[in-house]
Copies of this chain bind each other. A is one copy, B any other.
Amino acid sequence: MPQGKPETVPADGLTTRQRRNRPLLIVHTGEMKGKSTAAFGLALRAWNQGWPIAVFQFVKSAKWKVGEENALLALGETHDRTGQGGPVEWHKMGAGWSWSRKQGDEEDHAEAAREGWREITRRLAEERHTLYVLDEFTYPLKWGWITVDEVVTTLTSRPGHQHVVITGRNAPEELVAAADLVVEMTKIKHPMDTGAKGQKGIEW
């Protein structure tokens, strides 16, 4: 990570402390692995701070990322049992959102994605969590299921001190413009280039 002095000091009237504690909108995009894993790595730091964390997986199939899900939920259990770290919630679209009554096969993916976003909007208004991971959220934006304008307006006007991390390829320009921190994961080399397939513990 970039260390040391900031390159410029803005004339925004904020103290360093206020600027330091600014809630961040973070985007992990690009074609390569690492977008979601880096978001879940950030969740480890957040957990250690005792922050309430919620992950929202915007994927059609819920079979992926069970490793991260189990591990982060285990950390949430450690919190519930010992008070160490923060509480963790994990919600996924693929099998019906955990808070929703509609479980099982979700026929209308677009509506399911919108339902997820509406819940996130409610939680942001209530300041329910300190870190939100909106995993693969760029896809419902790209497919027009949720409008980017609405998302940007909601996120940039969110109250309190809530960090939001959005992952996925092809982050829309308006989202990048609104974000505080944007990382692109770029491929230099991938095993699939030479015919390898995904494997447990690495891809899931």
Residue from B22, B27, B34, B72 in contact with A191 in the complex, judged by beta carbons closer than 8 Å: B22
A58 within 8 A of B: no
> Which residues on the B side are within 8 Å of A184 (C-beta)?
32, 185-188
> Which residues on the B side are within 8 Å of A6 (C-beta)?
192-197
User: What is the copy number of this chain in the assembly?
Assistant: 2
Interface centre among A28, A66, A197 (most CB of B within 10 A): A197
Q: Is the interface on chain A under 10, 10 to 19, 20 to 34, or 35 or more residues? A: 35 or more
Give the interface SS of chain A, mostly helix, strand, loop or mixed: mixed
Complex Cα–Cα for A22 and B195 (A): 11
Residue from B37, B163, B189 in contact with A202 in the complex, judged by beta carbons closer than 8 Å: B163
Complex Cα–Cα for A200 and B46 (A): 8
